[in-house]
Amino acid sequence: MHTTDLPAQDRGGSIDLLVHGGDVLTVDAAGTVVADGAVAVRGGRVVEVGPADRLRTTYEAAEEIDARGCLVLPGLINTHTHLAMNLMRGIADDVTLQGFLERVIPREAEILSPETVAAAMRGAVAESVRGGVTTALDMFWFHEAALSVARDAGWRLLTGPTFMDVPGPPDGRPYAERLDWAAEHLKAYTPAPGTRPVVCAHSTYTLNPEQLTAIAALAREHGALLHVHAAENAAEVENVLALHGMRPVELLDSLGLLGPDTLLAHAVDLTDAEIAAIARTGTTVAHCPVSNLKLGCGIARVPELLAAGVTVGLGTDGAVASNTLDLFGVIKVAALVHKAGGDPTAVGAEQTVRMATIEAARAVGLGDQLGSLEAGKRADLIVVDLARPHLAPRHDPWSTLAYAAAAADVRDTVVDGRVLMRGRELRTLDEADVLRAFQEAATSTEAARTA
């Protein structure tokens, strides 16, 4: 973080981008805040973070962002979502998880294609960039289309083959063919900087133990993150108990599928023994409180998970479950909902901001590359405009972000050193075209479905 910490060849000289003048919340281990600070970026990485007056004289930047009156922090990381589900936003409100699945799964088979997923993904990327989300872990059909859209927009996406043994899957590929197909993808896939391979196993109720074991073996063979839904609500747990004689996390543990390269989505309905197993194995969790509340799933035992040493990141879930990809809203709910038991210290402001940044990066196995503004890490950052009545006065940046800030307060978004939004204007997506194509995809699929 200081010049003396940098290799000699990285000190001074030409850089690609200098963000200067704002208060820099580094989200490092010490929670360092550099007042009137700056972030120097070269080759997609942070070169140095320090006082603005010194860095402005030390480096010659090809592009500058004046962040005076703003807060500069790492980009937010969405650790569980189904991005192209935004195509169905509003079709499954005010129902249980099981009612939600009954509506959504058949609809997906009717309307999804590489083209509709691509159109929806452009909308999801635009929404995410506007909301300061620079990375997302996505589980959905036609992941190749999603990767192409993200690559073109310069946005960081973690995704991969999805396994869900249901009749008539949207891609028309029977389960028997999916392992070979996924293996070919993983062999040919070269992860972009700051990403890693991903394999998505939907759940213990849409896949049997033999399938789950084979999928996990494939993920391990390729060093991929295994992403799976688990224990989203009590009804799911009862269903899995009836199917397999064990609860979801118990089943995953018995199969040897828990571990530091496994991320569980939701993990709401957990026993003490399951929390201990998650902690013992180094398994990580994506906490999605907005979706959990909307679907009546309950409140995940996050204080207990944290006390056990489990790494917990935040996620929005899909925009048909939560109706939004707003991670600032998730931060606020996560900071509030766990206080409902009577302990206002249960999960605090700093903890929830960390759960959307550095802890989220650790949850997806990329804590050495993402999640904080430190020399050598990928240059993902956002600039939050503090010159607004609801963000004044400035006392504590963690409090401001957790309890007062909103997605609309994000002014600039940078991914891998590339400015994707400046002055609230998208630079790598034509927003009018994105919205037009997105609406056309939604309208055409609905027309085809009801014809």
Q: How many residues does the chain have?
A: 451
Other C-beta atoms lying within 10 Å of the C-beta of residue 176: 8
pLDDT at 4: 35
Containing 274, the helix (H) or strand (E) segment is helix 272-281
Q: What is the spatial distance between Cα 415 and Cα 155, in angstroms, rounded to a whole number? A: 6
pLDDT at 3: 39
Question: By percentage, how much of the chain surpasses pLDDT 90?
Answer: 90
Query: Looking at residues 283-302, what average pLDDT do you find?
Result: 97
Ranges of beta strands (E only) in 225-266 are: 225-230, 262-266
Q: Which of 229, 238, 289, 237 is nearest to 257 (CA)?
A: 229
DSSP symbols for 25-65: E---TT--EETTEEEEEETTEEEEEEEHHHHHHHEEEEEEE
249-280 pLDDT, tens digit each: 999 999 999 999 999 999 999 999 999 999 99
Task: Compute the C-alpha angle 206/337/226, nearest 5°.
Answer: 30
pLDDT band for 326, please (50, 70, 90 cuts): very high
pLDDT at 329: 98
Q: What is the spatial distance between Cα 83 and Cα 206, in angstroms, rounded to a whole number? A: 20
Burial degree of 136 (CB within 10 A; 0-12, 13-18, 19+): buried
Domain layout of the chain by residue ranges: 3-74+375-426, 76-363
Is residue 320 scored above 80 in pLDDT?
A: yes
Is residue 11 scored above 70 in pLDDT?
A: no
Query: Looking at residues 145-163, what average pLDDT do you find?
Result: 98
Q: Which of 159, 92, 83, 140 is nearest to 315 (CA)?
A: 83
Is residue 80 scored above 50 in pLDDT?
A: yes
Q: pLDDT: is 447 or 312 the higher one?
A: 312
pLDDT band for 448, please (50, 70, 90 cuts): low
The phi and psi torsions of 251 (rounded to 5 degrees) equal -65, -45
Is residue 214 scored above 60 in pLDDT?
A: yes
pLDDT band for 97, please (50, 70, 90 cuts): confident
CATH number assigned to the domain covering 3-74+375-426: 2.30.40.10
Q: What is the spatial distance between Cα 107 and Cα 240, in angstroms, rounded to a whole number? A: 24
Q: What is the spatial distance between Cα 210 and Cα 139, in angstroms, rounded to a whole number? A: 21
The phi and psi torsions of 58 (rounded to 5 degrees) equal -85, -35
pLDDT at 345: 95
417-447 pLDDT, tens digit each: 999 999 999 999 999 999 999 999 988 766 6
Tell me which fold the domain 76-363 belongs to.
Answer: TIM Barrel (3.20.20)
Task: Compute the C-alpha angle 38/41/45, nearest 5°.
Answer: 125
pLDDT at 9: 53
* Neighbouring-strand partners of residue 225: 198
pLDDT at 443: 85
The answer to whether 83 and 121 have CB atoms below 8 angstroms apart is: yes
DSSP summary character for residue 10 = G
* Mean of the per-residue pLDDT values of the chain: 95
Cis peptide, bond prior to residue 191, ω within 30 of zero: no
Q: Which of 257, 185, 176 is nearest to 216 (CA)?
A: 257
The phi and psi torsions of 250 (rounded to 5 degrees) equal -60, -45
- The residues, ordered by sequence, that sit 6+ positions from 366 with a Cβ below 8 Å of its Cβ are 194, 195, 196
pLDDT at 55: 98
Residue in the structure block whose two tokens are 């008539």: 168
Q: How much of the chain is in helix, strand and coil states, percent to nearest 5? A: 40, 20, 35
Query: Looking at residues 145-162, what average pLDDT do you find?
Result: 98
Query: Looking at residues 215-235, what average pLDDT do you find?
Result: 98
